[in-house]
Amino acid sequence: MNDLTIKIEAGLVQLGADIVGFGDITEFENDIRDNLPIGISVAVAYPGEVIKGITEFPTKDYYKWYNKLNEQLDAIVTQGAALLRESGYVAVARTREYVTDKDDNKFENETSLPQKTIATRAGIGWIGKCALLVTKKYGSAVRISSILTNAPLKTTSPINKSLCGKCLICTNACPAKAATGCLWEVGIYRDEFFDATKCRKTAKERAKQGLGKELTICGKCIEVCPYTQRYITTKNKPPTPKESIANLSQ
């Protein structure tokens, strides 16, 4: 790992990232990656106690953290991109606003270059049977974002196939019955193994019961995943929200 890669990874961790990965994304069309060859994937984890609370329905605490982590990610990638630019490189922070503007208000899962795709190229996880990113350390109990850059960073090997094996826990637990149980691999379309329309419809119904309003937020497949369960049942201190994001450029 070169000095610049070490510097950027350390900077993103200092900003609050729980996982950082660097991937080669040149396999994708130039226009969807802004003609930039490297994708930096950043993940932040939910506190374990928050995930433990959504066994029945999504909770207000879960929804609060969902928004909190999204805001934290926007700040992390914005500051991380600034750090790269100050080192003389092009860098684009793929914040929620950027992704929405780039893809004409599509759902994030329908974007031309999903955050999950960059995460698999950066080797931080794979796509599970319910179409969520799964990481070995935190399961699916993460929110993710990314930075695109032309900086000469040391990339890792991508993950091209699911590591879920024969496990059907999330498939069987899905209230929408949206998952077929098929394994993801590079090149397979999401619709071949997961029905996002069913997922969104049922998520709104469950959010109405748990939160009192219709939102596309559920979390059941996150909570039951064995990798998530291993994380939330450990005695590790859960991450806490950053009260402020340090400005590493100063």
pLDDT at 105 over 90: no
Q: Which residues pair with 149 in a beta bridge?
A: 38, 91
The answer to whether residue 44 sits within a structural domain is: yes
Structural domain of 187 = 3-232
Work out the percent of the chain whose per-residue pLDDT is above 70: 89
The answer to whether residue 237 sits within a structural domain is: no
Q: Which residues pair with 21 in a beta bridge?
A: 41
SS3 220: helix
Closest CA to 38 of 14, 16, 22: 22
Q: Which residues pair with 143 in a beta bridge?
A: 44
Tell me which of 25-29, 177-181, 206-210, 245-249 is least confident.
245-249
H helices then E strands: how many in the chain? Answer: 9, 6
Q: Which residues pair with 38 in a beta bridge?
A: 24, 149
- What pLDDT, in 10s, does the model give residues 58-67? 999 999 999 9
CB distance 6 to 154 below 8 Å: no
Q: How many domains does the chain have?
A: 1
The answer to whether residue 249 sits within a structural domain is: no
The answer to whether residue 204 sits within a structural domain is: yes
Confidence grade of residue 146 (pLDDT, cut at 50, 70, 90): very high
Please tell me the distance from the alpha carbon of residue 54 to that of residue 148, in angstroms, as a whole number.
33
- Region 189-218 average pLDDT: 95
The answer to whether residue 102 sits within a structural domain is: yes
Please tell me the distance from the alpha carbon of residue 8 to that of residue 66, in angstroms, as a whole number.
25
- What pLDDT, in 10s, does the model give residues 1-22? 689 999 999 999 999 999 999 9
The answer to whether residue 244 sits within a structural domain is: no
- DSSP labels, 136-196: TTTBT-EEEEEEEE-S-PPP-PPP-B---TT--HHHHH-TT--B--PPPBTT--GGGTB-H
Residue 235's pLDDT is 61
The answer to whether residue 120 sits within a structural domain is: yes
Closest CA to 49 of 237, 231, 227, 232: 232
The answer to whether residue 185 sits within a structural domain is: yes
Q: What predicted TM-score, i.e. pTM, was given to this entire model?
A: 0.90
